[in-house]
Chain A
Amino acid sequence: METRDRITTTELIIIVVNYVLAAGVFTLPRTTVERAGTPDVWISVILGGLLSMITGLIIARLSQRFPGQTIYQYSGKIIGRPLAILLGVVLIGYFVCIGSYEMRNVQEVTVFILLEGTPGWAIAGIFMWVALYLCRGGINAISRMCRLMIPITWTVFFGVSLLSLQVFDINNLRPVLGQGMSPVWRSIKPTALTFTSGEALLFLVAFMDKPKKTMKVVVSATLIAMVFYIVAVVLCIGAFSVDGVVTRTWPFIDLIRSFEVNYLVFERFESLWLTIWIMQIFCTFCIAFYGAALGLSQLTKIPLNHCLFALLPVIYIVTEIPRSLNGLFAFGAGIGNWSFFLFGVLPLPLLIIARLRGARS
């Protein structure tokens, strides 16, 4: 009856899907349409997904060379200790920023829709404390939480999506490729950034019981997440039209706000959906939080629990750095660019160097 700190392939898929599905759903329809200007962005979502799948596969390859080790542990064998520490610090910073970004999104949306007037620190505080409590249970607790959330959040997401079909107009999505592929290419960038899942694999593969199947994880997780984002984008454009989506700050929330269902228990669903989606974001937050703390703990040899505590105020302070909504979106875009470099560009040379030096665990 020992507790194993091992996760199966399915469990890892679920974790990665939970990691990818987060606050991106709120804004992705707008950020993509803003760049494309045509309703074809759903194609960009697919392409972006495939693109991030490729980077994910490279990372998976890299991690497979070092089964049972996280990036913080094995990077030293590839690029040497000093550079590895630098990389580790950057990665920790990245995960802290991801956590902060999600946290701030929760804050903004909650204050806007649910709790007008409640101070941000209170919202963040309770959220982060619960996350801390969960993360202290280790990767298995996070994995279980993800599995627990999935039936709830997925049901509500697709249920609400079905209901929103009453404001859906297929004509808003046509013509397909009316202006050719160029708008599609333009809007790939924001989608690819929403999707990046590879970074989570950098440390999660270490817990896998069958690291050989990492490829499967990358492919399935990206495909599942893709479904969600396609649904979000298609429904928003179908309801608001391309011209309307760009005027909405949180298109997906406004989509849910723009219909009422009579003769059901609820008439309006935005609060319900939002609270449920906050649970989804909670999972993402926990994974990022855990990733950062794990890195810190492995770099400094401080116990993981202490690292979790130490990162708590850091994440909060980073959360509060953006001073406005625009600041938050800029922050998000910044993280996106950062991740593009870290996880789109960097893993390939790492993999090549690892091959050349024959580094294995």
Chain B
Amino acid sequence: MKHLLKQGSSLSLLIVACLLLSSCWSSSPIEDVNLEAGVALDVAEETETEQDLAQKGGEYPKRNKVSCTYQFLIPQGAIGSKKEGAQSKNYYNATQTGDSIFEAVRELSLRSNRLPIGHHLKTIVIGEELARTTKLSELIEFFSRDNDIRPSVLLFISKGKAREVFRDSLPGQTPAFVLNGTFNNRRRITRIWEPVSMAKVVGPLHGHTSFALQNVVVSGKETKFSGVAVIKGSTGKLGGFLDEAELDGLVWLTGKGEGGSVKTYSSDNNKLVTYEITGMDSKIKASVNGDKIAFHVLIESKGRIAEAYFAGGERLVGGTIRKARETLEKKVQDMVKNTVRKMQHELQADVAGFGKSLQIQHPSVWNKVKTNWDTVFSSVPITYEVKLNIEDYGASSTTSD
């Protein structure tokens, strides 16, 4: 033991000397970091603070192209004893306008004593205007290259200004986290697109295929998911939006929903029937005949009746339920058709995976058309088949009286 101490003490002496000399190269005290929670990217528009600072000489040579708004977390006294900050916000936003996103975040270091770190960055929101004019791959370039920021960051497009999304929230909430958490509701509603992380867009961006990103709109303190934004593969820029109803169709088309509802009115008496989805699946079958490509979409779903006004007080058996099913199937088909029409004719972008199906089922054909797939896609005939299976009807076994 004694000898060991001797050895140990000399070793620890060495280590302590190392510590003093090097001051632990990479270590940074955790209480002195500024956690980035979200980033909003907009077309250049300097904030009042920035303009004020610029007037006083706080400027650097740059071309104003992008405004980056970083949302930083302010750790509240999470300890029970400190209650005084109940009303204060959990976050603050800082905007820096410039051309290089990296330079902008470093410029922010002039405005805070704390070291910004990106490990906990969860959300990147891109404003509509910026997304329409700049390639997405350029916008996320820095984030996909950085070592702190992870490819699991989720991407959003905001109709309007992205920084507005981060501006305000209900007390106790952080806008960047609210956006991420909203995806947990996918089991409840089909008007939420799947969460798309940076890892999932590098492939399509590099391969020039189109894809969809969740769109988010804001009013006052509340944000709302509202349809998706379509990034066109050919340009790599924002091509347009699918609204909530069209997103509904897109989710049906891809079978990516986890749950939600379908509502329709009965054709004969114009009464409501609502269907709760408990499972859905879709198969896209590509068929090639010479140069002609055609798709057949088979959508299958199971679920239950959530609301039924359409037949006064009848038991939900036999004909009644068949009627409900047929009405609902037609509704789903209409939604899907509507979405596809918009994709084919207005957006000319395939975000539902038709191309992938073709690639898997007919690789050689795909190789011929893949360079201008979105154009080819806009004139491809598509047929649909929807099969719903109403498994149960909850606690009430009749329709409403």
Chain B residues within an 8 Å CB radius of A244: 199-200, 202-204, 206-207
- Contact partner of A118 (CB less than 8 A), chosen from B25, B144, B147, B198, is B25
Per-residue CB contact flags for chain A residues 110-133 toward chain B (1 = under 8 Å, else 0) read 001111111100100000000000
The answer to whether the Cβ of B285 comes within 8 Å of any Cβ in the partner chain is no
A112 near B363 with CB under 8 A, answer no
Chain A residue nearest to B209 (CB atoms) is A243
The segment from B66-74, B166-174, B239-247, B353-361 found at the interface with A is B353-361
Chain A residues within an 8 Å CB radius of B26: 114-118
A241 near B150 with CB under 8 A, answer no
* Alpha-carbon distance A239/B150, docked complex (angstroms): 14
* Alpha-carbon distance A171/B152, docked complex (angstroms): 20
Chain B residue nearest to A167 (CB atoms) is B199
B363 near A254 with CB under 8 A, answer no
Chain A residues within an 8 Å CB radius of B359: 174-175, 178
Chain A residues within an 8 Å CB radius of B207: 241-244
The answer to whether the Cβ of B274 comes within 8 Å of any Cβ in the partner chain is no
A119 near B152 with CB under 8 A, answer no
- Contact partner of A240 (CB less than 8 A), chosen from B147, B152, B203, B361, is B203
The answer to whether the Cβ of B116 comes within 8 Å of any Cβ in the partner chain is no
The answer to whether the Cβ of A228 comes within 8 Å of any Cβ in the partner chain is no
Tell me how far the C-beta of B246 lies from the nearest C-beta in chain A, rounded to whole angstroms.
23
Tell me how far the C-beta of A87 lies from the nearest C-beta in chain B, rounded to whole angstroms.
41
B204 near A117 with CB under 8 A, answer no
The answer to whether the Cβ of A268 comes within 8 Å of any Cβ in the partner chain is yes
Per-residue CB contact flags for chain A residues 10-23 toward chain B (1 = under 8 Å, else 0) read 00000000000000
Question: Which of A114, A174, A244, A268 has its CB near the most chain B CB atoms (within 10 A)?
Answer: A244
Interface of B (DSSP majority class): helix
Once A117-B26, A258-B151 are accepted as A-B contacts, the answer to whether A171 and B356 lie under 8 Å apart by CB is yes
A254 near B206 with CB under 8 A, answer no
Interface positions, chain B 143-175, Cβ under 8 Å from A, are: 144, 147, 150-152
* Alpha-carbon distance A244/B209, docked complex (angstroms): 12
- Contact partner of B360 (CB less than 8 A), chosen from A122, A174, A259, A268, is A174
B206 near A178 with CB under 8 A, answer no
Chain A residues within an 8 Å CB radius of B200: 167, 244, 258
* Alpha-carbon distance A195/B289, docked complex (angstroms): 44
* Alpha-carbon distance A57/B360, docked complex (angstroms): 38
Chain A residues within an 8 Å CB radius of B119: 268
Tell me how far the C-beta of B287 lies from the nearest C-beta in chain A, rounded to whole angstroms.
16
B204 near A175 with CB under 8 A, answer no
Chain B residue nearest to A115 (CB atoms) is B26
B360 near A243 with CB under 8 A, answer no
Tell me how far the C-beta of A39 lies from the nearest C-beta in chain B, rounded to whole angstroms.
10
Number of A-B residue pairs with CB-CB distance less than 8 Å in the complex they form: 86
* Alpha-carbon distance A48/B151, docked complex (angstroms): 30
A119 near B25 with CB under 8 A, answer yes
* Alpha-carbon distance A248/B150, docked complex (angstroms): 12
Interface range on chain A: under 10, 10 to 19, 20 to 34, or 35 or more? 20 to 34
* Alpha-carbon distance A242/B206, docked complex (angstroms): 10
Interface positions, chain B 174-204, Cβ under 8 Å from A, are: 197-200, 202-204
Tell me how far the C-beta of B209 lies from the nearest C-beta in chain A, rounded to whole angstroms.
8
The answer to whether the Cβ of A257 comes within 8 Å of any Cβ in the partner chain is yes
* Alpha-carbon distance A258/B154, docked complex (angstroms): 10
- Contact partner of B363 (CB less than 8 A), chosen from A175, A242, A247, A259, is A175
Per-residue CB contact flags for chain A residues 261-290 toward chain B (1 = under 8 Å, else 0) read 000000010100000000000000000000
The answer to whether the Cβ of A260 comes within 8 Å of any Cβ in the partner chain is yes
The answer to whether the Cβ of B367 comes within 8 Å of any Cβ in the partner chain is yes
Chain A residues within an 8 Å CB radius of B22: 122
Per-residue CB contact flags for chain A residues 100-114 toward chain B (1 = under 8 Å, else 0) read 000000000000111
A112 near B367 with CB under 8 A, answer no
A258 near B152 with CB under 8 A, answer yes
A259 near B152 with CB under 8 A, answer yes
Chain A residues within an 8 Å CB radius of B204: 241, 243-244
Chain B residues within an 8 Å CB radius of A239: 199
A247 near B206 with CB under 8 A, answer yes
Chain A residues within an 8 Å CB radius of B209: 243
* Alpha-carbon distance A270/B359, docked complex (angstroms): 33
B199 near A112 with CB under 8 A, answer no
A115 near B25 with CB under 8 A, answer yes
* Alpha-carbon distance A254/B146, docked complex (angstroms): 11
Chain A residues within an 8 Å CB radius of B361: 175
A171 near B360 with CB under 8 A, answer yes
Per-residue CB contact flags for chain B residues 96-122 toward chain A (1 = under 8 Å, else 0) read 000000000000000000000001000
Question: Which of B202, B204, B366 has its CB near the most chain A CB atoms (within 10 A)?
Answer: B202
The answer to whether the Cβ of A142 comes within 8 Å of any Cβ in the partner chain is no
* Alpha-carbon distance A244/B207, docked complex (angstroms): 8
Once A171-B360, A258-B197 are accepted as A-B contacts, the answer to whether A117 and B206 lie under 8 Å apart by CB is no
Tell me how far the C-beta of B64 lies from the nearest C-beta in chain A, rounded to whole angstroms.
28
Tell me how far the C-beta of B346 lies from the nearest C-beta in chain A, rounded to whole angstroms.
26
The answer to whether the Cβ of A179 comes within 8 Å of any Cβ in the partner chain is yes
Chain B residues within an 8 Å CB radius of A257: 150-152, 199
Interface positions, chain A 176-226, Cβ under 8 Å from B, are: 178-179
Chain B residues within an 8 Å CB radius of A116: 26, 147
Chain B residues within an 8 Å CB radius of A115: 25-26
* Alpha-carbon distance A239/B203, docked complex (angstroms): 9
Chain A residues within an 8 Å CB radius of B360: 171, 174-175, 178
A240 near B25 with CB under 8 A, answer no
Tell me how far the C-beta of B21 lies from the nearest C-beta in chain A, rounded to whole angstroms.
11
B363 near A178 with CB under 8 A, answer yes
Tell me how far the C-beta of A43 lies from the nearest C-beta in chain B, rounded to whole angstroms.
15
Chain B residue nearest to A237 (CB atoms) is B203
The answer to whether the Cβ of A246 comes within 8 Å of any Cβ in the partner chain is yes
Chain A residues within an 8 Å CB radius of B199: 167, 239-240, 244, 254-255, 257-259
A243 near B25 with CB under 8 A, answer no
Chain B residue nearest to A116 (CB atoms) is B26
* Alpha-carbon distance A304/B209, docked complex (angstroms): 58
20 CB contacts below 8 A, A to B, read A114-B26, A115-B26, A122-B22, A174-B359, A175-B359, A178-B360, A178-B363, A179-B363, A179-B367, A239-B199, A240-B199, A243-B202, A243-B205, A243-B209, A247-B144, A254-B199, A258-B200, A259-B199, A268-B119, A268-B152
Residues of B within 8 A of A (CB): 22, 25-26, 119, 144, 147, 150-152, 197-200, 202-207, 209, 353, 356, 359-361, 363-364, 366-367
Lowest 9 A-B CB distances belong to which pairs?
Answer: A244-B203, A178-B363, A243-B207, A258-B199, A241-B203, A258-B151, A118-B25, A243-B203, A115-B26
Q: Known pairs A175-B359, A254-B151, A258-B152. 13 more at Cβ < 8 A?
A: A112-B147, A118-B26, A167-B197, A172-B203, A240-B202, A241-B207, A242-B207, A243-B205, A243-B206, A244-B204, A247-B203, A257-B150, A257-B199
